[in-house]
Amino acid sequence: MKKTIQAAFAVTLLAPMTAFAAEGAAHAEGKKESLITLYTQGGIVMHFLLICSIAMVWLVIDIWMRTNRPKMTPPEDVATAQDRFRAGDYVGAYQAMKAGVSPYAEVVRAGLSSIGHGKDATEEAIYSTVDKINSTLQTRINYLSVIGVCAPMIGLLGTVAGMKGAFGSLGSTGLSGGVGELAGHIGEVLVATATGLLVAIPAFGSFYFLRNKLQGAVHNLQGECERLFRNAPYEYLQNTDVGQEETYAALPNWIDAPEG
């Protein structure tokens, strides 16, 4: 299923590029050209644009799957945590969330590890963990913006380099080759610019769409965690170590340990 989604998305992104390039070539030379030929005409920068295109598709699919609400807040993890809280089994809830790999399990685990220090410490642990998850995913989304900015610049660089070669040839041979040949060379070098724009447009669109999608998923995650810890009996859990993790901070070595 995942491979099918990836293939469909790749076709969706590459189809406009193929159609645009083929249409431009048909008008310019009156004949159809293969995608490989157009790729070659764009010059060496087409390799970099291809890398940008592949990276964009991978990022969109990866972020889309990571920011799905069932992925961020799995119903089975929510149900497990709620059942343990209803039973007052906070140690069992911690162990169940420790076995989970979802962002929800990570946030609940952080809250339970601080629940013995009171409500303020628990809420601070929850919010800081949510912020960390949001920052990690937002960093991935920001790469789409980088691609959207760099792709047109890379395409323009290829076009400038191609134009330099075309006008250099014109300067050495004059117009003996005809204006049509010069126009053909210019049409070829513009392939890089067009490709850069066709990579940048979906990259920017995906950036804004996925950013909003992430905000909705994070708000849902935080809301579910706050609902879970609402009215928790902090007074009965004071100074308890729910996580039961090994501690490494001992008394300073210049203080004698109490006897007994």
**Three-state DSSP state, 225:** helix
Place of tokens 């850069």: 196
Residue 142 within any structural domain of the chain: yes
27: containing domain: 2-233
Residue 184 within any structural domain of the chain: yes
What's the number of domains the chain is made of? 1
Residue 238 within any structural domain of the chain: no
Confidence of residue 185 (pLDDT cuts 50, 70, 90): low
61 Cβ neighbours under 8 A, 6+ residues apart: 2, 5, 6, 9
Residue 185 within any structural domain of the chain: yes
Q: What is the pLDDT of residues 135-174, one digit of tens each?
A: 999 999 999 999 999 999 999 888 887 777 666 666 665 5
Q: What is the pLDDT of residues 108-128, one digit of tens each?
A: 999 999 999 999 999 999 999
Residue 252 within any structural domain of the chain: no
Residue 129 within any structural domain of the chain: yes
